[in-house]
Amino acid sequence: MEFLQPTTWEEAVETKAAHPDAVPIAGGTDVMVAVNFGRLRPARLLDLTRVPDLQQWDTEDGVVRLGAGVPYARVIGELGDRLPGLAMAARTIGSPQIRNRGTVGGNLATASPAGDAHPALLAADAEVEVASVRGTRRIPVADFYTGVKRSALADDELVAAVRITPPSGPQQYSKIGTRNAMVIAVAAFGLALHPDRRAVGTGIGSAAPTPRRAPAAEEFLAGELDGLWDSRAELPPATAARFGELVAGAAAPIDDVRGTARYRVHALSVMARRTLTWAWAEYRKGETRCA
């Protein structure tokens, strides 16, 4: 096995082009489990932890550009104010040790339907910035997931960053698991309100072959909220309940060791209704941010 350690982004991208079979390793929290258990024996590991560009985030024209290699602990600590939805999701990931290493870039490249960053990124309409020697492209996150643990990333590409316009309204993240730490989601739901563009963002986790949005639920709710954004009036409980049903209707879950499809659908309707209730209550108070 070869251990490749580029120290610049250009070198990383060139190395990946020269060795498309090289397996990138960032926090290693997915890769090393597979290596330790003999499930992965790549000819080459491509260590990305020495590429400074990947460890940074910045904002350009109000858009947060989050380097693929920023660990969750920093997303929570440094971006909790700007991206509360992603930070909430990040807080549910693994344990402190895992959050000190694991990255959003790694979560994206693994593209597990249960990955916790996905629902938050979907709800926020994030874009994934991927790059190769051929150039850079931005992929709307909803198009990034192409199948169970499959993504739009080509063999010679690396995830450079994820670009997120901080949603202008409240965000929520809800996850079902057996305990508060160290659980793969049985089902998860991310919500973002976008009062600036009178829209609603959703993300479903662990209840379909890929993370996905619930477009019918988004449209329904945007329609219902049309008269409420300005008045900040109370949300009729029936609206929240219907939203929950529509979110559940967008899922296509399976039975597995973690839960049954029926339970997942039910859980989603409850999580969607509750997160909407919390987010709307926060919106009514006129607060748009909570970390």
Ligand X SMILES: Cc1cc2nc3c(=O)[nH]c(=O)nc-3n(C[C@H](O)[C@H](O)[C@H](O)COP(=O)(O)OP(=O)(O)OC[C@H]3O[C@@H](n4cnc5c(N)ncnc54)[C@H](O)[C@@H]3O)c2cc1C
Q: Does 116 bind ligand X (CB under 6 A)?
A: yes
For ligand X, how many residues bind (rule: CB under 6 A)? 30
Other C-beta atoms within 10 Å of 58: how many? 10
- Choose among 77, 12, 21, 76: nearest CA to 47: 12
279's contact among another protein, ligand X, none, with CB below 5 to 8 A by partner kind, is none
Residues of this chain, 36-65, that bind another protein according to CB under 8 A: 36-37, 41, 45, 47, 49
**The residue to which tokens 């000190």 are assigned:** 100
User: Per-residue b/e over 199-236, b at no fewer than 16 CB within 10 Å?
Assistant: bbbbbbbbbbebbbbbeebbebbbebbeebbeeeeebe
Interface residue with ligand X, options 65, 101, 258, 274 (CB under 6 A): 101
Q: Does 227 bind another protein (CB under 8 A)?
A: no
Q: Does 24 bind another protein (CB under 8 A)?
A: no
Q: Does 31 bind another protein (CB under 8 A)?
A: yes
Q: Which amino acid is at 281?
A: A
Q: Reduce the DSSP state of residue 171 to 3 states and report it.
A: strand
Q: Does 102 bind ligand X (CB under 6 A)?
A: yes
Which residue's CB atom is positioned nearest to ligand X?
106
Q: CB 46 → ligand X: shortest distance, Å?
A: 8
Contact 179, 96 (CB under 8 A): no
Of 20-28, 119-127, 137-145, 236-244, the window that binds ligand X (rule: CB under 6 A) is 20-28
Q: Which two tokens stand for residue 287?
A: 């607060």
Q: Does 110 bind ligand X (CB under 6 A)?
A: yes
Q: Which two tokens stand for residue 169?
A: 């309204």
Applying CB under 8 A, the residues found at the interface with another protein are 1-3, 5, 25, 27-29, 31-33, 35-37, 41, 45, 47, 49, 73, 94-98, 100-101, 180-182
